Amino acid sequence: MITSASNPRIKRIIQLRDKSKMRREEDVFIVEGVRMFLEAPEKSVQELYLSEKFFHHANTECMEKIKRLESKQGLKTEVITDDLFDKISSTVTPQGILCVIRQLHYTMDDLLKTEAPLLVIVENLQDPGNLGTIFRTAEGAGVDGIIMNRDTADLTNPKTIRSTMGSVYRVPFIITEHLEQEIKMLKQNRITVFAAHLSGKDIYDGVSFLGGSAFLIGNEGNGLTKEVAELATEKIKIPMEGKVESLNAAIASSLLVYEARRQRKAGKIL
């Protein structure tokens, strides 16, 4: 059992938790909690830490997965004191289980497998909770993938990971330095790129999303940059009553992808 905060492995976990640069360099991210552990792809689990209390009281499902990881992958489970676990955790009420996960990598081909792909393109979104919610909603609506530019909030941020509720394991994504080039490539592949924009002429539920479709979602405060918005095939809007000018980025994304799902279900394109 690890009992000291000066233990090198504990120091490293804290650094991985707090430093995005280190996560990028090691190509990993950290997840916490029973659900995030149980849903994690077994081949991606690199390290596992349990609090002493969790080790003695873990449910059967968790223990079965831990044993599989130990026997099939040679994973060594580290048990640490409850007080020490509280120090490495990024949650208010730690559940007592923390994993280091190898980052998942995809190509554009992974996002374009279906006949009529449904995609979300995120530019400069800053709130980790918003990004995590977009992932979760995307999975629920059957989105084929998410494209983000490098200036979008760090996907490996522990808050972002928690907000995805496991969807980060299952929704293909690409982080790109060249968002404009990726958008142009999508258009060349006959994917209609829609910008959720205040200057949009058509209301979103009056536009067809039965063909390949991608929704552009911009920064919370400033929206899409002019350069990216101008690349859209069509600008659409979400109607607003009262004095509200726009919706939260994650909510706007949710409305659009679920409208696409509704249309596709009715049109049998699923």
| Span 31-86, pLDDT tens digits | 999 999 999 999 999 999 999 999 999 999 999 999 999 999 999 999 999 999 99
The ranges of the chain annotated as CATH 3.40.1280.10 are 108-267
Q: What is the pLDDT of residue 112?
A: 96
For domain 8-102, the question of CATH label 3.30.1330.30 is answered with yes
DSSP 8-class letter at 215: E
pLDDT of 143 strictly over 60 = yes
Beta partners for residue 219, in sequence order: 223
pLDDT band of 246, cuts 50, 70, 90: confident
Amino acid at 52: E
The residue-averaged pLDDT of 247-252 equals 92
Q: How much is the pTM?
A: 0.93
Please state the rounded mean pLDDT for residues 128-146.
97
d(C-alpha 200, C-alpha 236), whole Å: 4
Average pLDDT, whole number, for the chain? 95
CATH number belonging to the domain at 108-267, selected among 3.40.1280.10, 3.40.1390.20, 3.20.20.70, 1.10.150.120: 3.40.1280.10
3-state DSSP assignment of residue 128: helix
Q: Which residue has the tokens 């976990």?
A: 13
Strands (DSSP E) contained in the chain are 28-32, 45-51, 77-80, 97-102, 118-122, 145-149, 173-176, 192-196, 202-203, 213-217, 234-237
Q: What is the dihedral of CA 242, 245, 250, 256, to 10 degrees?
A: 80
Give residue 48's pLDDT: 97
The single-letter code of the amino acid at 236 is I
Contacts of residue 35, Cβ cutoff 8 Å, sequence gap at least 6: 165, 166
Q: Start-end ranges of CATH 3.30.1330.30 in the chain?
A: 8-102
